[in-house]
Amino acid sequence: MSVVHPPRRLLFGPGPSQVEPRVYQAMAQPIVGLRDPYFFEIVEEIRTDLRVLFGTHNSFVHVLTGSGSYGMEAAVANFVEPGQKLVVFSAGFFGDRIAEMAARHGANVFVCRKPWGETFSEAEARETLGREIPQAVAFVHAETSTGVLQDPKAITAAAHGCGALTIMDCVTSLGAIPINVDASGVDVAFSCTQKGLSCPPGLSPVTASPAAVDRLRARKTPCPVWSLDLKLIADYYEEPHRYHHAAPISSFYALREGLAAIREEGAEARFARHQRAHDEFVRRLEAIHLSMFVPEPTRRIPNLNTVRVPEGIDDVHTRKRLIAEFGIEIAGGFGPLAGKIFRIGLMGPLATEDNAAMFVGALAHCLRD
């Protein structure tokens, strides 16, 4: 009877990542109303579990309707007022996206830009921030366009030296690797459900430190985006549960279930499993004489591998073969990296040594004529 018959894919791309059957089953449970006590129970359980993964004691942890990009827009719209200076450290597509959004909301944006694939040192951050003296600083923890991990402390230490609020994009890292929002001195962090949390896309977890919340409450102007106004959203999910918008109840069920699965495995065990899968991936990859785009192991995102496309290989052709012959989805590079890298996620149920080995075997097959 149903008209929806999707092809079965193995989602080895940068996201959405593979979802476990129990999450789909939870998603198919019947919805309740927007202010049903059962819904708010689910919300509280989600908030509790997210604190562990964010590595925070922040009271302010909420889940926005939308993708990780909506969380990004909420962060800049709520925590940077028009006219305030924001410095964005960008060495990739998503760093630039933060700058683009903030500019639309009237922030005075300065982009400290390096070539795609690089990172920022504390000395570089101090130099820039000492000169610009911004009210807020934003950067990407795990840059999905390049596979590069930025050390948060290199930037937050410099930012706090000039009293700036720190905003971190952890869209690709949350749930797969440690985030440590509190220990890293991050004031605002946002993510998504479809990568490290192994749920379908649809929601964006956001957390804010007490200092960030104070700044939010002290705003002189309303948040320019009504839908993403975190004061209104907090008043809906917390007491007095004032109606704001129709939350996607089914997506909350999915997230609740996905977080329960993570809790059952244990966050540390999950992070370790992702690291082992990554290590096996790199070992297998180098064994077939391919090379990682990011040379230094410590600057690689364990759950999102960027691999150099070998000389003479058409990356689109290879990706089409992976889909056609194995049902495997991966992504290519874009912008300056178009045609130059493959982007390969090892996340959630696919983040095992066996799957890493299987994947590299399939890739090797599709690279042959």
Tokens in use for 213? 């919340």
Least gap, CB of 261 to a copy of itself (angstroms): 9
If the CB atoms of residues 244 and 300 are measured against a copy of itself, the closer one turns out to be 244
Rank residues 27 and 154 by Cβ distance to a copy of itself and give the closer one: 27
Name the residue nearer to a copy of itself (CB basis): 256 or 284: 256
Q: Pick from 332, 306, 305: which is nearest to 318 by CA?
A: 332
Q: Which residues contact 88 (CB under 8 A, 6 or more apart)?
A: 95, 96, 98, 99, 102, 109, 110, 111, 112, 137, 138, 139
CB of 330 to a copy of itself, least distance (A): 9
Q: Are 198 and 348 in contact (CB under 8 A)?
A: yes
The DSSP bridge partners found for residue 203 are 65
Backbone φ and ψ of 205, nearest 5°: -70, 140
Written as six digits, the tokens of 65 are: 């309707």
**Residue among 29 and 121 whose Cβ is closer to a copy of itself:** 29
SS3 271: helix
Query: Minimal distance in Å, beta carbon 68 to a copy of itself?
Result: 7
Closest distance between a copy of itself and the C-beta of residue 183, in Å? Answer: 28
How far, CA to CA in Å, does 59 sit from each of 50, 135, 211, 254? Answer: 11, 23, 11, 22
> Residue 258 Cβ, how far from a copy of itself at the closest point, in Å?
10
| CB 8 to a copy of itself: min, Å | 6
For residue 36, give both structure tokens: 């049903």
What is the rounded CA–CA span in Å between residue 49 and residue 191? 14
Q: How many residues does the chain have?
A: 369
Q: Which two tokens stand for residue 72?
A: 């990004």
* CB closer to a copy of itself, 250 vs 318: 250
Nearest distance, CB of residue 185 and a copy of itself, angstroms: 27
* Distance separating alpha carbons of residues 355 and 263, to the nearest angstrom: 22
CB of 1 to a copy of itself, least distance (A): 6
Pairwise CA distance, residues 145 & 334, whole Å: 7
φ, ψ of residue 208 to 5 degrees: the values are -145, 140
Identity of the residue, 20 or 151, whose beta carbon is nearer to a copy of itself in the bound complex: 20
Q: Which is nearer to a copy of itself, 243 or 339 (CB)?
A: 243
Is the Cβ of residue 7 or residue 295 nearer to a copy of itself in the bound state? Answer: 7
